[in-house]
Structure 1
């Protein structure tokens, strides 16, 4: 989301390591969704990155949705699956929830255009199963099921600018949520490795979490001990 420079490139490279990107491919069956959540503190403290808070102000500390991405049976990770008559006004009943759970921190703020972007790039690839409103409802529902912030807190892992072992982070998430996560790290302005994105998988209906059919090789650029920075 937004301008994340080299970190976005890192994410895309990791994705390409286990999936072939398909443009406009809607013929293959949808196998799963990847629910990707990110930690604002690690997004905003990268070198050269500047965050702008939503119009509602600074959000409460939490992992927020980075994206809900479909994954196909043929091994492709599709995007931009055709034009869609997107009516952002239809999201009005969900807007408060989306602002809280799926906000944009780009500068300048793009508001509702962010959700338009997410639907056009990723949601359209699931439109044969999930329409516009069900797509966003599914993302919000899955985030509630994968409450990362709460799961880590239960394991004694908090955003206190301290280092935690990658093993302990995964253990806390598996214990609370029931599935193994895919964890991606980035580096802060001082070059320290920190937790950034955490991914869980959902079934093709977008209704329940499942064991991921595929995970990228390696550990998402994470060291054995990683920083959990403060939210702001």
Structure 2
């Protein structure tokens, strides 16, 4: 679809003030509608590669690169209602400055899907709403913010130092994991799991609650969000159970959809 250049830049400019020109299907037009700029909180969502392929729809489409050994970024997501702007384009050249870091910390695990197209989807779905905030007011700034936060919350180092290591034999109580993460994150996070073919509860995601100024915290009513349907999965992820143990499964590069079988 081609956009009139004047409408295109009007959309981008209007985004900063909270107003966007859209038509009924969310694309640019001459009609002014309210954009989702009045959000308060966001989630930095980290994902564990070892669990990623467990519940994926097409087992053959999943691949974990050998270079991936740590928690990666799934997204930086404003908690909002309403539509983000389709009119704020992102191009590969926008991210060239930080592409080496993004490739390491924000990879795609779907075969044949270039990393940039994963980043592009995240920008269109979430980044254009985050762009209402000056510190994330461009594709480059948004992705730089996510990388900075990922480095700040060094989950791999915290877990390793606390003795929580990947295993198919050893599992952990919910409170054991929270006891390790709470000194770093307070109560501002959620643990998300998926169930593998043997009934193991496998830890897959960590959602860290942040204010729009990128500091920890979020009003309670904002935190209580339903877990998202995992777009690549057969089912929704779910809160990690408190009444059974949780597996922090290893990354299995050869058989990623069944890391413990």
The TM-score, its normalising length taken from structure 1, stands at 0.78
Per-residue deviation, residues 76-119 of structure 1 (Å, max 9, x unmatched):
3x554332121221201110100111100012232311111111
Matched, 1:43 2:52: yes
2:80 pairs with 1:52: no
- Structure 1 range deviating more: 97-106 or 24-33: 24-33
Which of 137, 160, 173 is matched with 2:167 structurally? 160
Query: Number of paired residues?
Result: 201
- Superposition deviation, residue 173 in structure 1: 0.6
Residue from 85, 91, 96 that aligns with 1:92: 96
Q: Which runs of 4 or more aligned residues in structure 1 lie more than 6 Å from their structure 2 counterparts after TM superposition?
A: none
Note if contact 1:160-1:229 (Cα within 8 Å) is conserved in structure 2: yes
Q: Answer whether contact 1:181 1:198 (CA < 8 A) is retained.
A: yes
Q: Which residue of 2 aligns with 1:66?
A: 74
Kindly indicate which of the two structures has a greater share of residues assigned to strand.
Answer: 1
More relative contact order, 1 or 2 (CA 8 Å, 6+ apart): 1
Residues 79, 164 of structure 1: alpha-carbon distance in 2 compared, 3 angstrom cutoff: farther
1:112 pairs, out of 103, 107, 116, with 116
Q: Which moved more, 1:39-48 or 1:211-220?
A: 211-220
1:140 alignment partner in structure 2 = 147
SS at match of 1:164: coil
Q: Distance in 2 between matches of 1:119 and 1:28?
A: 15
Q: 1:104-147 deviations in whole A, cap 9, x for unaligned?
A: 00122323111111111110112222221110001001111111
The answer (yes or no) to whether the contact 2:43–2:209 under 8 Å persists in 1 is yes
CA positional deviation for 1:28: 4.2
Radius of gyration: which is bigger?
Answer: 2
The whole-number CA distance in structure 2 between the counterparts of 1:177 and 1:52 is 30
Q: Distance in 2 between matches of 1:134 and 1:217?
A: 26
* Aligned equivalent of 1:198, options 206, 210, 214: 206
Which stretches in structure 1 are left out of the alignment for 5+ residues? 1-22
